[in-house]
Chain A
């Protein structure tokens, strides 16, 4: 199975800050990398698929980049509704696997 590791595991930031989360795969996943946002008590919601494609309805302040084993999710200007946990997930091979999550908290 491909192992996914995110950093940091948590971060504190203020509204308006630029936030970057990284995700590393244990082997190449090409560009088969997706990002999800999860709020407490809710199901995850896809933000970005295939490394950099924005899911319909997701604000443009979210962006993704990378290839191979190293990827980033960037929030250009953090908004109050963005405080949540973010997961990366590889869809390159079965089983699909998730990172351990990055919790974004209010500073």
Chain B
């Protein structure tokens, strides 16, 4: 049974950066892709980017290009998402998700979510 466990809630000031982690268990980490999806309060989920857990290739949302970096540590079966130059509009729950086809662009397992609050 795949499980994704994310790091805890964060409170950041505008202009700061945040780095979230997502530890995978219950499956072979490098066999699947990992996407990061965020959801602002009362809004639809929004895709941020993806990493091929095997070779480290990445794709990012054009909207967030330049501010988001996704990485992974295969020895720790963990993916990371760093978002820089935070603004109030980045306040959201951030989810890591597993892609069952590595790059199939859909999500069969989700982490529990990490609330990031950006406030001065």
| A interface residue numbers (CB < 8 A to B) | 32, 34, 36, 43-46, 49, 55, 87, 89, 91-101
Chain A residue with the shortest CB-CB distance to B110: A43
Contacting pair B44 A46 (CB below 8 A): no
| B interface residue numbers (CB < 8 A to A) | 35, 44-47, 50, 59, 61-62, 95, 104-108, 110-113
Contacting pair B44 A101 (CB below 8 A): yes
Contacting pair A94 B105 (CB below 8 A): yes
Contacting pair B106 A96 (CB below 8 A): yes
Contacting pair A45 B106 (CB below 8 A): no
Contacting pair B110 A98 (CB below 8 A): no
* Number of A-B residue pairs having CB atoms within 8 Å of each other in the complex: 47
Q: Which of the residues B61, B106, B112 comes within 8 Å of A89, measured between beta carbons?
A: B106
Which residues from chain A contact B35 at a C-beta distance below 8 Å? 96
Contacting pair B95 A43 (CB below 8 A): yes
Contacting pair A46 B105 (CB below 8 A): no
Contacting pair B106 A91 (CB below 8 A): yes
CB distance from B61 to the nearest CB of A (A): 5
